[in-house]
Amino acid sequence: MSKLKPQLRPGLFLPGIILSFLAGSALSEEALRVASYDIEVQLQLAEKSLSAREHIRYTNHSDYLIDTLYFSLYPNAFRDENSLFLRGYEKLRKRCKRENNWASLDIKRIVLGSDQLDLSSQLMPLSEHDMTVVKLPLAQSLRPRESPDIHIEFDVKLPEVIDRLGYRGDNFIIAQWFPKLGVFEGGRWKCYPYQQNTEPFADFGDYRVKITLPENFVAAACGYLQSERDNGDGTRTLGYYAPSVHDFAWAADPSYEIFTDTVDQIEIELYLKPDHTNKAGRILSAAKEALSYCSGRFGRYPYNKLTIVDTEIAGNGMELPTMITIGVRYFPFCWNRFEQAVVVHEVVHQWFYGMLASNQAEEAWLDEGLTTFVTAKILEQMFGEGNFVDFCGLQFGAYQMDRLTYLWEPSTDPIYQPGWEFDSELSYFASTYSKASLALKTLEGHLGSEVMDSVLVIYSRKFRFRHPTTFDFISIAEEVSDEDLSWFFAPVLFGTEVCDYAVSEINSEKREENEQLVYDHRIKLRRLGEMILPVEVKIVFADGQEIFKQWDGSAGHHEIELQSSSPIEVVVIDPDRKNHLDVNFNNNSKTSLPQADAVFKLQTRIFFCIESLLQWVTAF
């Protein structure tokens, strides 16, 4: 079992390892532009709609001939009750129907190259009832390196607050709003109908977007504001430029107040509604902390600006390249830090989504799991254990949150699985966020924190501005640790087994040998779950002596027999708490003497609480 110990001496060799891995691959500040977009859009306030023109410069960077183009038309997820997305959310479907609240994206005209022929009639939806993906067969296949221009004119009808797009009053969040090409990878298009638990997947490119909106509106968008023009008709046009990104979104509200701060020469612009300005300091400081942490480890944040937008429309928070949204609430008490947690989470996504643009639809854990794992580290560094709530001695943090969610659905779905195959939203959340984060923490426990840091550093730098996969991550982890980690990744990422090891029995018999007392001990360990992970056992004796034993964890039970001159005080499985996937820490140890004081304290507190409750309920 000593093989399981990392062979590296982290303190001495790791910087060298990182350098050797990254040698010859200078940190990229720019992405390979596959699909760049120039968009001119006008917000029509009265109609709650957008009308836009889009020019896409697409380059076939593959070695294949491409005979069809695939476009994602996200707003059509809310076009009618038959869409795949709404069929997955019964309550939302009923609500949309009841309120007659629908959205749509209609392509009015599509032209390829200099040809003026409108091809919109040739667009074909991927499935009969769902219009979120359409394909356009090409008259002539695109050769490698060929770079056609695509011109599209389209209208978007905005819904009133559904998922990530729409409006509430005068507050607009315009995300996933334009026809966007899928990713052509490995000889096939990866462009997924929008449905339950899926996220868009796109190539990098440059975005130049001109937004025309009423002059009293304050707009926030991805990238940099480059131009501003008063149109003289009560509207103004704002020109944004976002280089090396794979998406573009914007928000608008007449009441936004802007707060700014800088960290490491990165300007943070925070757009808050007037009611929430009391939160500006907290949000900005959380964003600065997260940007510093990630820039220092996972490669410099390559943009000069990060925009944070307050909108309750997109839920608690949403990540977009160079921009994050957060649903701020007016709640002045500082013991609640959920908003800081959301800000940190979304800022970390600037790396594990923004720059490492994995396929969120098929392997969401790479974005969400890694982000949740890093977020927990940052929050712990910022606020300690009670990093979500620290109230009257009660501490609840990111770790407890992950554990709570994971234990709710520990075995319904594997971590690695396409989003639409998850049993439910909760199971998706439990697997891709919480279980994945705890799995990474377990891997860190096994490899050691310095090796794990190196894995993340090398992974994040090597695949910057690319589309890394799960197998890229595994290979980096194995290369850095110089260890075959299939024993870990196979059950943890691809299986649904539950991990639960327990100390079952301790039997000791005392006898006399050569006028000395000798204890014969028999310790029984059990594997209560199906997942097999190596187990470290620590045995502590009454005289202070400690013994460590290893068990490969494969059998249903395992016995340790040993002799000592002293009775056993305690037997502990995983004494350094490295395995965070074990579903029950309470059976991981057995003490020979009862923990009478601790149990007494717990029981008497509960007793007193029940007495107080009785006092209340009988006080009518």
Partner 1 sequence: MKTIDHFLKGLKNSLASWRLGIVLFVFKFICALFLVIPLNALLSESFEHNLYASSFLTRLDLTLIIDFIQSNIQGLKVYLVFFLLTLVAAVLLNIFLSGAIFRLLCDGFRRGYYSFTIGHFFRLSGRYLFRLSRLFLYSLLFYIVVIAFHLVFAELSKAIFGGFSASFRFAWIFVRLAITGFLAMLVVMTFDYAKIHVVSVRHIKVKMTIKEAMIFVGKNFGGAVLLYLLLILGLAATVAIFWGLDRGLGLLGTSTIVLILTFLLQQTLSVVRSFYRLLIFSSQISFFDDNKKVLPRFQEEQEEEESAEST
Chain positions contacting partner 1, by CB under 8 A:
274-276, 278, 330-332, 393-396, 399-400, 403-404, 407-408, 570, 572, 583-592, 594-604, 606-608, 610-615, 617-620
Among residues 13 and 585, whose Cβ is nearest to partner 1? 585
Between CA 72 and CA 234 the distance in angstroms is: 33
Q: How far is the CB of 603 from partner 1 (least distance, A)?
A: 5
Among residues 516 and 615, whose Cβ is nearest to partner 1? 615
Q: Residue 106's CB: how many other CB atoms inside 10 A? A: 15
Please check whether residue 191 is in contact with residue 359, taking contact to mean a CB–CB distance below 8 angstroms: no
Between CA 185 and CA 62 the distance in angstroms is: 7
CA–centroid distance for 104 within its chain? 28
Q: How far is the CB of 533 from partner 1 (least distance, A)?
A: 17
Of 476, 478, 490, the C-alpha closest to 298 is 476
Q: Residue 401's CB: how many other CB atoms inside 10 A? A: 21
CA-CA-CA-CA torsion for 372, 376, 378, 381, nearest 10 degrees?
180
Please check whether residue 40 is in contact with residue 251, taking contact to mean a CB–CB distance below 8 angstroms: no
Between CA 214 and CA 402 the distance in angstroms is: 43
Give the SS3 label for residue 42.
Answer: strand
Q: How far is the CB of 598 from partner 1 (least distance, A)?
A: 4
Please name the residues in contact with 105: beta carbons below 8 A apart, sequence gap of 6 or more.
73, 74, 75, 76, 131, 154, 155, 156, 177, 178, 179
φ, ψ of residue 193 to 5 degrees: the values are -55, 140
Between CA 62 and CA 34 the distance in angstroms is: 10
Among residues 27 and 602, whose Cβ is nearest to partner 1? 602
Among residues 34 and 502, whose Cβ is nearest to partner 1? 502
Among residues 156 and 280, whose Cβ is nearest to partner 1? 280
Q: How far is the CB of 409 from partner 1 (least distance, A)?
A: 11
Of 470, 583, 589, the C-alpha closest to 530 is 583
Among residues 17 and 572, whose Cβ is nearest to partner 1? 572
If you count DSSP H runs as helices and E runs as strands, how many of each does the chain have, helices first? 13, 31
Q: How far is the CB of 552 from partner 1 (least distance, A)?
A: 23
Residue 106 β-bridge partners: 155
Q: How far is the CB of 25 from partner 1 (least distance, A)?
A: 40
Q: How far is the CB of 408 from partner 1 (least distance, A)?
A: 7
- HEC string of 393-458 equals CEEECHHHHHHHHHHHCCCCCCCCCCHHHCCCHHHHHHHHHHHHHHHHHHHHHHHCHHHHHHHHHH
Between CA 156 and CA 134 the distance in angstroms is: 16
Between CA 201 and CA 80 the distance in angstroms is: 23
Q: How far is the CB of 587 from partner 1 (least distance, A)?
A: 8
Among residues 11 and 620, whose Cβ is nearest to partner 1? 620
- Measured CA to CA in angstroms, residue 518 lies from 511, 540, 570 at distances of 5, 16, 17
Give the SS3 label for residue 506.
Answer: strand
Between CA 356 and CA 542 the distance in angstroms is: 52
Indicate the helix (H) or strand (E) that contains 353.
none
Q: How far is the CB of 141 from partner 1 (least distance, A)?
A: 55
Q: How far is the CB of 347 from partner 1 (least distance, A)?
A: 25
Q: How far is the CB of 394 from partner 1 (least distance, A)?
A: 6
Residue whose entry in the numeric block shows the structure tokens 């697409």: 58
Among residues 494 and 600, whose Cβ is nearest to partner 1? 600
Q: How far is the CB of 554 from partner 1 (least distance, A)?
A: 23
Between CA 233 and CA 382 the distance in angstroms is: 49
Among residues 330 and 471, whose Cβ is nearest to partner 1? 330
Q: How far is the CB of 384 from partner 1 (least distance, A)?
A: 12
Q: How far is the CB of 468 from partner 1 (least distance, A)?
A: 32
Among residues 138 and 389, whose Cβ is nearest to partner 1? 389
Among residues 136 and 401, whose Cβ is nearest to partner 1? 401
Between CA 469 and CA 475 the distance in angstroms is: 10
Among residues 114 and 333, whose Cβ is nearest to partner 1? 333
Query: Strand ranges (DSSP E) for 246-393?
Result: 250-253, 257-263, 266-272, 305-310, 317-320, 323-326, 389-391
Among residues 5 and 522, whose Cβ is nearest to partner 1? 522
Q: How far is the CB of 211 from partner 1 (least distance, A)?
A: 28
Please name the residues in contact with 226: beta carbons below 8 A apart, sequence gap of 6 or more.
239, 240, 241
Sequence-ordered alpha helix ranges (H) in 483-568: 486-494
Among residues 60 and 442, whose Cβ is nearest to partner 1? 442
Among residues 212 and 405, whose Cβ is nearest to partner 1? 405
